[in-house]
Amino acid sequence: MSGHPAIRVTRVAKDFPVGDGKLRVLHDINVDVKSGELTYLVGESGSGKTTLISIIAGILYPSEGTVSVFGTDIYRLNDTQLVKFRLSTIGFIFQQYNLIPSISAAANAAVPLIASGVPRKAAIEQARELLHMLNIGDQCDKLPRQLSGGQQQRVAIGRALIHAPRLVVCDEPTAALDARSGRRVMDLLRDVALATDRAVIIVTHDNRIFDLADRILAMEDGRITHDGTHMPKDH
């Protein structure tokens, strides 16, 4: 199952301004994530999980340390290079979906392809096929406000997967889904993770899907406190 490191996080710390000072929310994080693995990141709210995955995905700059994604030190890239790298290499599933309200579900899912230069008609057709795989093919022409929370979540998942990124980072991808839909989505994400040149990192509290993980990292107070193949006993 294991492969070469896809992501290498080295001595990463993150501070946020608070009043006249700063609050350190990540402390000296060191972790490698391997290709071909489905990695979960678990921990209580406020433990630093979303901050860490946002740094890994090139969305939030660290205060200290380095992040290498498939051999590229992403925070040595300039802003334009980083945007291009994210577009070609990383898919991010946001907990709040972040769909564009004025365009259809299929057009939302097609955004990464269109942004990378694929003709709009071809991109939307590809998005339709993917949304069908996610069991919402009959919702393609609806606007986000016409969809349920679970349907919006699946559109967001489709958008993250449409351009076949090598790294997929997910923030609670099954939170709004019933057990059957959640399992279907996780089966799809696991298929992505099993590719030898890809990796998937998932922040989750969903104990219905813990059995699918190859590796579980637990966080507490901005530090990684557990790294293993099973949930720690105190979670």
Domain hosting 45: range is 36-63+78-228
What average pLDDT does the segment 77-84 reach? 94
Residue 12 lies in a domain: no
How does pLDDT run across 157-169, given as a tens digit for each residue?
899 989 989 999 9
**Mean local confidence (pLDDT), 66-78:** 96
Residue 17 falls inside a structural domain: no
Give residue 140's pLDDT band: very low, low, confident or very high (50, 70, 90). very high
Total domains, the chain: 1
What totals of helices (H) and strands (E) does the chain contain, helices first? Answer: 6, 10
Is 102 within a domain? yes
Q: Please check whether residue 3 lies inside any domain of the structure.
A: no
Residue 71 lies in a domain: no
In a domain, 204, yes or no: yes
In a domain, 181, yes or no: yes
pTM: 0.85
pLDDT in tens, 188-235: 788 777 766 888 999 988 888 888 888 999 999 999 998 887 766 655
Summarised one tens digit per residue, pLDDT across range 2-42 is: 456 899 999 999 999 998 999 999 999 999 998 888 899 99
Is 230 in a helix, a strand, or coil? coil
The CATH number that applies at residue 46 is 3.40.50.300
Please state, as a whole number, how many other Cβ atoms lie within 10 Å of the Cβ of residue 211. Answer: 9
With both helix axes pointing from N to C terminus, report the angle between 149-161 and 105-115 in degrees, rounded to the nearest 10: 20
Beta-ladder partners of 29: 12
* Residue 26 within a domain: no
* Residue 9 structure tokens: 């996080």
